[in-house]
Structure 1
Amino acid sequence: MESTESSYVSSPEGPNGALISAAQIAYSDSMEKPTYVRFLVSNAAAGSVIGKGGATITDFQSQSGARIQLSRNHEFFPGTTDRIIMISGTINEILKAVELILAKLLNELYSEESDDVEPRTKLRLIVPNSSCGGIIGKQGSTIKSFIEDSQAGIKISPQDNNYLG
């Protein structure tokens, strides 16, 4: 049986004796709790993330502290020809790994495009159906705020649709 000692907070006081709220404890726990993010990339982009002899992925894992895994060559997400990248670790580790991966992919995209064209690319996240309601929010308020804040086009594919377009 696993010990649960580490999940208990010995004192509800923070620095200088300030009380810590349950929300702050939950937020702090979520920052350290191992989690994962999955998204899709083309086979060529997957090769770029792996790098020659695995050098790039090893470097990204070392810099971020996250674990980065890719589905095997020709093992695609259902209904697509895209491979899956799964990044696991703490939230901060995952954010750093995503930043490194996207910076590499965008840098390569810019180097392939002419100077007059600003490239656009799709990032397709794999999200459990159970999480979609939280992303959409009441009457679409959460997803609308994501779109306004980021200026990104965000779509959620229908639940019964395997292809993420």
Structure 2
Amino acid sequence: MASKRTAMVAGGLALASAALMAFLGVWEGEGEYTVYADSLAGGLPTVCKGITPYTSSRPVVVGETWTAAECEAEEQRVVEQTQHALARCIEQPVPQHVFDALTSHAHNLGWPATCGSRAVRLINAGRLDAGCRALAWHPDGRPAWSYAGGRFYQGLHNRRLAEMAMCLGGQ
């Protein structure tokens, strides 16, 4: 079973940790086996825990139904691929909970956005707490990464706050 893999990346970090996969289930949907058009993403076809045509190795067609096993395998593949990309841009050793929080952010926004973020720049500069806080807040106190189509969404900000809390060491 794919979820029981114990793959590791540099520094001994687990890929697709159980804590991360549970977190994604809360924020991306647990048991979302029918492909739907994500309204916050402009109708982007989405299934499982946030799998889209941009990340999937197979077509994602609105209305199609995937099995639990298909979702689990694709989620594992996508998360591990994202984490390998993150491991290349995170230049400082980080604890698992920081890696998992950054992975959630990248899973939602794309690893290029996360790797290019102020949060990762701060973490790479050795400012871990400031980097974690940057997942949810701009320096001027405005919510960060909480907008879609130029509009603020409390649900997105709630996710950013949860990622910040995870990053800072809480679940």
Same fold (TM over 0.5): no
Query: Going by fraction, where is strand more abundant, 1 or 2?
Result: 1
TM-score by length of 2: 0.27
